[in-house]
Structure 1
Amino acid sequence: MADQRPDRTVRILSTGTALPGPPIDTEALAARFGMDRLWRQWVDTFIGTRTRHLALDLATGAPRESLADLATTAAATALTRARVSAEDIDLVVLGTATPDTLMPATVNVVADRLGIDGIPTFQLQSGCSGAVQTFDVATSLLAAGRSRTALVIGGDVIAKHYDVSADLGALPPEQLVNYVLFGDGAGAAVLTAETPETGEPGHDDAPVVRTVLTRLTGLGREPGQVLRWYGLADRHRAEAPANEDYKAIEELVPELAAEVAEELLDDLGWQRDEVGHLLPPQLSVTMTEKIVKRLDFPLADEISVVGDTGNNGNALLFFQLERLLDVMGPASRAVAVAIESSKWICSGLALEREPLR
């Protein structure tokens, strides 16, 4: 039976990530789609993403890896790094906007592949904030004593929604931008509320999750992004599989990110100059630069990955956390923010690595 003591400390023991295939740079995209030099310059100037990874063969459009494939790899890595077995996990939560199938839930396919059974599993259908939502669900259950050790996973395979034979030169900007912004990937983390033994490798100095915030803020706002899933009855509809209101995102995301950061700091009583690491929202390189400037954490090191991974949705936070765990020293603090533009969800979390004992 799980420990029923309330408000237990939740720590991040480890992370794991997975990317499909080799990195694909803008030159490769331009060559595949017959785009000219001006198009490449537009991508470099207004998007800034250097490479992305796709779970399909760019030449043929044939699928290479599924979300379950990537999530299983990432989760297995996280378990190994945490020195935790599948039998130790008593909760799994997956956040994604692009499950492999509507049924069975991808989270259960991943659990089966890992040898996990007989425990609660949850799949959250969400965009970029889904990764933070997995932490919200898991830390709540861990802190309440309903679970001891949780596996949280986030990932997306977005390329399957795009037509690799499309004439990009004929697409409107709200569809064209998706081909250069996004990539595929998955990430995972092992969380625990177990009291560490002093000196236990990787446990007694694991970062503490101090607070998690998720909140819908879409009342009266048009969606900033739409990703459609067609069934047989509506597969021939004229709507594009994906649309993005980049202008609305460019205007709203920095302001919403600033609101999240302020709320996290207020909740904990932290000052901006006490935060050593900032994990900002990761739409694109150029947008990240604007957001970081707006957030104004004067002493924080920025941890960004989108320039190399592309925007792989719910995987991004885990790639950022993976880098954070490598550089986060004792007695340091970190703030992560994610904004979902589909129907405008604000989210974030704050971490602290305590002083060495």
Structure 2
Amino acid sequence: MQDRAPRITGIGHAVPPRVVTNDDLAARLDTSDEWIRSRSGIGTRHHVDPGTATSDLAAEAGALALKHDMRSGGTGHVDLVVLATTTPDRTCPGTAPLVATRLGMGGIPAFDVNAVCSGFLYGLQTATAMVAGGAAGSVLLVAADTFSTIVDPDDRRTAFLFGDGAGAVVLRAGTEPTVHAIDLGSDGTQEDLIITPGGGSRSPGSDERWFAMQGQAVYRQAVDRMTRSTRGVLERVGWGVDEVDRFVGHQANSRILEAVAQRLGLPVERVVMNLDRVGNTAAASIPIALSDAHDRGLLVGGQKLALAAFGGGATWGAAALTWPDLPRA
């Protein structure tokens, strides 16, 4: 139905105040600022302090998106909350109901989605389908992760990559869509590429609590899957690569983003990057990058955007959007 077209009407993001620099990591690990920047493009990241949880960042980002929604003519209230996260406050229950309650919307449906770094795109598909199908007139989609709580701080291979943060968007039913198409995929045979081995029903008593990743294999798969998924979603909406004004990929590694842009034939200056300041914030990275780019004036109403991500599972996805004309703070 034409009046059920999902539109983005609000956006916001939040990162914890504590900044961790490459030099901070080099003071206790066998690494250096030059080594980290050359391999990832990351200069700083934000980490939560003890006592701060994923729900705290999620609620903060959600509140900002709802406030932005009101400035865009919305009500600041939604029918559904979807939270994409790999680091919930607890294994049970889900974290989304707590976030909804903290935002003053207790009683509405709320649930978690776990697709690791592809979580925002999986959540976006869920939210847009709910709006387009009439199950919800409005959805708050939050993606939040605190990977500093599951990454071994003494692991030189992973400790420098991750930051904590949350990003959120409000989607409402309208007459003209801003989200045009989403492509998703998964491959469970590659679950070991990105994994936290212990804590689940497979190994409940395991001491393997820390996140692990096969870096080179992840790089190859991420470049391949993000490229193919982006091409697929552009074909579905009939856009040529030259029509894409901004490419916003999962902010995992600058080399991955540059390689995807090169394979697509997209000029690197159209690639949105903020990982140099926030690191890899997992599911939160795309909405944080979108919110940051909007705040900096890099996104303008009417621009054609392509989004893409690769995450544990393995999971991947891409989306084609027309950026809405949203007010700035």
Give SS of 1:193's match. Answer: strand
Structure 1 contact 250–287 (Cα < 8 Å) conserved: yes
How large is the RMSD of aligned CA atoms in angstroms? 2.5
Tell me by how many angstroms 1:243 deviates.
Answer: 1.1
Where does residue 176 of structure 1 map in the other structure?
156
Q: Distance in 1 between matches of 2:269 and 2:179?
A: 18
Does residue 1:337 correspond to 2:312, yes or no? Answer: no
Change (3 A) 1:6 1:280: same
Match of 1:296 among 265, 278, 285: 265
Change (3 A) 1:244 1:328: same
Where does residue 153 of structure 1 map in the other structure?
142
Does residue 1:126 correspond to 2:115, yes or no? Answer: yes
Deviations along 1:121-174, whole A, 9 cap, x unmatched? Answer: 22112201111111101100101112111100001011112454xxx4xxxxxx
Structure 1 stretch displaced more, 311-320 or 111-120: 111-120
Change (3 A) 1:208 1:324: farther
Structure 1 stretch displaced more, 77-86 or 138-147: 77-86
Change (3 A) 1:193 1:324: farther
Structure 2 length-normalised TM: 0.89
Change (3 A) 1:258 1:234: closer
Match of 2:251 among 252, 272, 282: 282
Work out which of the two has the higher radius of gyration on C-alpha atoms and give 1 or 2: 1
Give SS of 1:214's match. Answer: strand
Q: Distance in 1 between matches of 2:269 and 2:216?
A: 28
Match of 1:221 among 183, 190, 215: 190
Structure 1 contact 272–298 (Cα < 8 Å) conserved: no
1:246-265 → structure 2 map (5 Å cutoff): 246-265=215-234
Where does residue 60 of structure 2 map in the other structure?
73
Q: Distance in 2 between matches of 1:247 and 1:76?
A: 38
Residue identity opposite 2:35 in structure 1:
W
Tell me by how many angstroms 1:219 deviates.
Answer: 4.8
Change (3 A) 1:180 1:76: same
Q: Distance in 1 between matches of 2:181 and 2:269?
A: 18
Give SS of 2:124's match. Answer: helix
Structure 2: state its 5+ residue gaps.
Answer: none
Q: Distance in 1 between matches of 2:227 and 2:259?
A: 11
Give SS of 1:129's match. Answer: helix
Q: Distance in 2 between matches of 1:149 and 1:236?
A: 41
Change (3 A) 1:252 1:299: closer
Tell me by how many angstroms 1:183 deviates.
Answer: 0.8
Where does residue 204 of structure 1 map in the other structure?
none
Q: Distance in 2 between matches of 1:75 and 1:296?
A: 35
Does residue 1:49 correspond to 2:18, yes or no? Answer: no
Tell me by how many angstroms 1:71 deviates.
Answer: 0.5
Structure 1 contact 20–64 (Cα < 8 Å) conserved: no
Tell me by how many angstroms 1:293 deviates.
Answer: 2.0
Q: Distance in 2 between matches of 1:235 and 1:221?
A: 21
Structure 1 contact 278–335 (Cα < 8 Å) conserved: yes
Where does residue 125 of structure 2 map in the other structure?
136
Aligned length: 320
Deviations along 1:223-281, whole A, 9 cap, x unmatched? Answer: 211124538x9787453612110010121111111101110111011111111111123
Where does residue 269 of structure 1 map in the other structure?
238
Where does residue 281 of structure 2 map in the other structure?
312
Structure 2 contact 18–48 (Cα < 8 Å) conserved: no
Change (3 A) 1:51 1:145: same
Q: Distance in 1 between matches of 2:203 and 2:306?
A: 42
Q: Distance in 2 between matches of 1:137 and 1:70?
A: 21
Q: Distance in 1 between matches of 2:193 and 2:163?
A: 18
Tell me by how many angstroms 1:22 deviates.
Answer: 2.8
Change (3 A) 1:121 1:44: same
Tell me by how many angstroms 1:109 deviates.
Answer: 0.7
Residue identity opposite 1:17 in structure 2:
H
